[in-house]
Amino acid sequence: MKRRILFVPGKLPYVRGERPKVDCILCAVLRDDPRVDRLVLARDRSVFVTLNLYPYNPGHVMVVPRRHIVDPREATESERRAMALWRDRVMDALDEIYSPAGYNIGYNVGKRSGASLEHLHLHVVPRYKNEIGFLDVLSGTRVIVEEPGVSARKISGFLRKYRGGTKEKKR
Ligand SMILES: [Zn+2]
């Protein structure tokens, strides 16, 4: 049986409100800007995969178009295909590493949607059978910390086999 992996978000500087001072965090992540954590797990010509900066659960990953677009309807045909392809690859990786019980997958679009980043990103949120609530954390039951760097290494290790592009034809 796999070990349950839980995560204490208080360990992360950005959860404590220290947001990096850049125009767009996702564009900065893509540029490997030193002011943001380097959490790119995989990339190809049109999209990249990053660990969520404000994780909801361990293994919360985002698939992001390289272009700074804000609405899924702005995506080109090849961006759409690449987003779907990497969504599936990420799910394969998370299944293998964390064996989640399910997923929430989707976009938040627009100011009133809860989106904290304008740059379009597809959330892939693994859901676990026994997710702990805040009180469980306080009572100290079964808390296993996984640092984002550890998640990043595991997931990027799995995605490494796809390096070399999505084998898509140029449009
Ligand atoms: Zn951006």
The letter for the amino acid at 161 is K
pTM, rounded to two decimals: 0.78
Chain centroid to Cα 66, Å, comes to 14
Cα(27) to ligand 1 centroid in Å equals: 4
Residues 60, 119, 121, 123: which is the catalytic one? 121
Cα(83) to ligand 1 centroid in Å equals: 16
21-54 pLDDT per residue, tens:
788 989 999 998 888 877 899 999 999 999 886 6
Decide if pLDDT at 93 tops 90. Answer: yes
H or E element in which residue 125 lies: strand 122-127
Nearest-CA neighbor of 72 among 110, 33, 37, 129?
110
Cα(68) to ligand 1 centroid in Å equals: 4
Q: Where are the alpha helices (DSSP H) in 23-76?
A: 25-30
**Is 121 annotated as catalytic?**
yes
pLDDT at 54: 67
User: Which domains are seen in the chain, by residue range?
Assistant: 9-162 (3.30.428.10)
In three-state secondary structure terms, 6 is: coil
Chain centroid to Cα 101, Å, comes to 18
117-138 pLDDT per residue, tens:
899 999 999 988 877 554 455 5
